[in-house]
Structure 1
Amino acid sequence: MIKTLIVEDELYIRKGLISMITSLKKEIDIIGECESVKEAITVTKACKPDLIFLDINLKDGIAFDFLDQVKDLNFQVIFITAYDQYALQAIKNGAIDYILKPVDIDELNEAIDRVKLITDNRSNHLEIVKNQLIEKRREYIVLRLQEGYQIVRFDTLMYCQSDKGYTTFYTEDKKSYIASKPIKDFENQLPENLFLRTHQSYVVNLKFIDKYDKTGYAFLKSGVKIPVSIRKREEFVSRLLL
């Protein structure tokens, strides 16, 4: 049996993950659940799990804070995250796999099987994970909202607007979604070939631009007016002309 620890700060995600693992009928023995870095360090050192399902953002820090404290122990890690941006950092920390939220049971099944198949050959290990990252590149962003998770496709996202630590995502079907994080936390998750930060409070999808006014405003096809800051104007215009 593979002694397994679940480290995730959302109770309903932990319980859902345990339920899915149980339904797969794998040789997994879940020895505990943790919701914080501090708790995970204590349990890991005491119980010495073989495998840890690890969320990125925990109650008192991030997963990499935890890994720094237990790097002398021998266990495998499968990251559970809503953010593609952490994939490369996951590789550097020796992750067997990473699964994007909401968790897909088929991906979970493959990840558990991979735990059994990975050898001690580090280079092969890294090559496998790199190939997974290429395959898993998504065409959407997953937003954590107050009521749950929302999938927003990049090709439907017109622009994002930040205000007082919150970011609103506006889509072409006239819907909007408010996430309780500043725009800088999302900027790196949006494909550079589609999106551009035009202002400290705005990121815009260039495919929805209708025209640019030299007074410093871009107009979307929907009629929405987006400010372009002085320091961003040259880059904005060059991107439009590509």
Structure 2
Amino acid sequence: MKSLIVEDKEYIRKGLINLLELIDKDIEIIGECESVKDAVVVANACKPDLIFLDINLTDGTGFDFLDQTEHLNFKVIFITAYEEYALQALKIGAVDYLLKPVDVDELTIALEKIGNLSIATQKQQIKTVKQVLNNDNDTLILSLHDAFQIIDLKDLMYCESDKGYTTFYLSNGKKHLASKSLKEFEEQLNQHSFTRPHQSFIVNLKYIEKYDKSGTIYLKNGIKIPVSTRKKESFVKRLFTWNKK
């Protein structure tokens, strides 16, 4: 079975390859990609039978990749680092997925299940997942100290993390503190107009007024957000990609 790994973290790709060799399944890894753009090119050229697909990639999502390769026939096993994002939708759709770090037993089970599944059946399952995500895609439910707060994502300007807590700042001036790290919200928010330019911040691209190339984002309300050195390139790419939509 010709397989393509689409994952933006090299150590996850290498770890998955090692596990596949350990399992000794009849799987040939024909390529590794870390972006939607590269994965589309490789998939069209090599026509894989199976794709291990990360949900959140450097220039988009795994679903963006699937939209651009609908004409191809392959099976998919999703990979995700976050239990809270999309897992409910994946479960509803009965789609196979692996949580990072990938467990060898879970990988074995996923491969067995995918081997007995037709491509047509899985495409329908993935369609169900996308419908669930789209129907519940515009709000975020925060578990606060004494209540559940529903946030309309179009009103969320930015999030700031501090010592395992995350503060959500809204355009109306309100803010909400959740007792979870920024990482636990990142993948869900990145499916919208959000990006993470710094380990302590996630920003809504819609509220950016200016980006100083020295490494500072200026929001429309005057707030300044830093861009870390290692994230400058990916942030600028994300900004321009989003702006073209």
Tell me the TM-score normalised to structure 2 length.
Answer: 0.52
Match of residue 55 from structure 2: 56
Greater relative contact order (Cα 8 A, min sep 6): structure 1 or 2?
2
Give 1:86's aligned amino acid: A
Are the aligned partners of 1:79 and 1:95 in contact in 2 as well (CA < 8 Å)?
no
Match of residue 98 from structure 1: 97
- How does 1:47-126 map onto structure 2 within 5 Å? 47-84=46-83, 85-87=85-87, 89-90=89-90, 96-119=95-118, 122=121, 126=125
Q: Secondary structure at the match of 1:201?
A: strand
Question: Which of 154, 170, 177 lines up with 1:202 in the alignment?
Answer: 177
Q: Please, what is the CA RMSD of the aligned residues?
A: 3.7
Once the two structures are superposed, what CA deviation does each residue of 1:142-178 show, in whole Å capped at 9, x if it has no partner?
Answer: xxxxxxxxxxxx9xxxxxxxx964324xxxxxxx447
| Bigger radius of gyration among the two | 1
Match of residue 160 from structure 2: 166
Change (3 A) 1:75 1:120: closer
Does structure 1 residue 12 correspond to structure 2 residue 6?
A: no
In 2, Cα distance between the equivalents of 1:37 and 1:167? 28
In 2, Cα distance between the equivalents of 1:80 and 1:183? 27
Change (3 A) 1:14 1:183: farther
Once the two structures are superposed, what CA deviation does each residue of 1:11-33 show, in whole Å capped at 9, x if it has no partner?
Answer: 11111111111110001110000
Q: In the comparison of the two structures, how many residue pairs are matched?
A: 149
Q: Secondary structure at the match of 2:70?
A: coil
Change (3 A) 1:18 1:178: farther
In 2, Cα distance between the equivalents of 1:21 and 1:108? 8
In 2, Cα distance between the equivalents of 1:164 and 1:58? 21
Give 2:86's aligned amino acid: Y
Once the two structures are superposed, what CA deviation does each residue of 1:112-144 show, in whole Å capped at 9, x if it has no partner?
Answer: 111211246739x85xx99xxxxxxxxxxxxxx
Give 2:177's aligned amino acid: Y
Are the aligned partners of 2:50 and 2:76 in contact in 1 as well (CA < 8 Å)?
yes
Change (3 A) 1:74 1:89: farther
Structure 1: stretches of 5+ with no match in the other structure: 131-153, 155-162, 169-175, 185-198, 206-242
- CA drift at 1:6: 0.2
Are the aligned partners of 1:96 and 1:115 in contact in 2 as well (CA < 8 Å)?
no
- CA drift at 1:88: 5.1
In 2, Cα distance between the equivalents of 1:95 and 1:48? 24
Give 2:160's aligned amino acid: Y
- How does 1:139-178 map onto structure 2 within 5 Å? 165-168=159-162, 176-177=163-164
Displaced runs of 4+ in structure 1, greater than 2 A?
Answer: 87-92, 119-123, 163-168, 176-179
Q: Secondary structure at the match of 1:16?
A: helix
Are the aligned partners of 1:20 and 1:105 in contact in 2 as well (CA < 8 Å)?
yes
In 2, Cα distance between the equivalents of 1:115 and 1:106? 14
Change (3 A) 1:113 1:167: same
Are the aligned partners of 2:36 and 2:62 in contact in 1 as well (CA < 8 Å)?
yes
In 2, Cα distance between the equivalents of 1:120 and 1:7? 18
Does structure 1 residue 33 correspond to structure 2 residue 32?
A: yes
In 2, Cα distance between the equivalents of 1:37 and 1:88? 23
The percent of aligned pairs where both chains have the same amino acid is 48
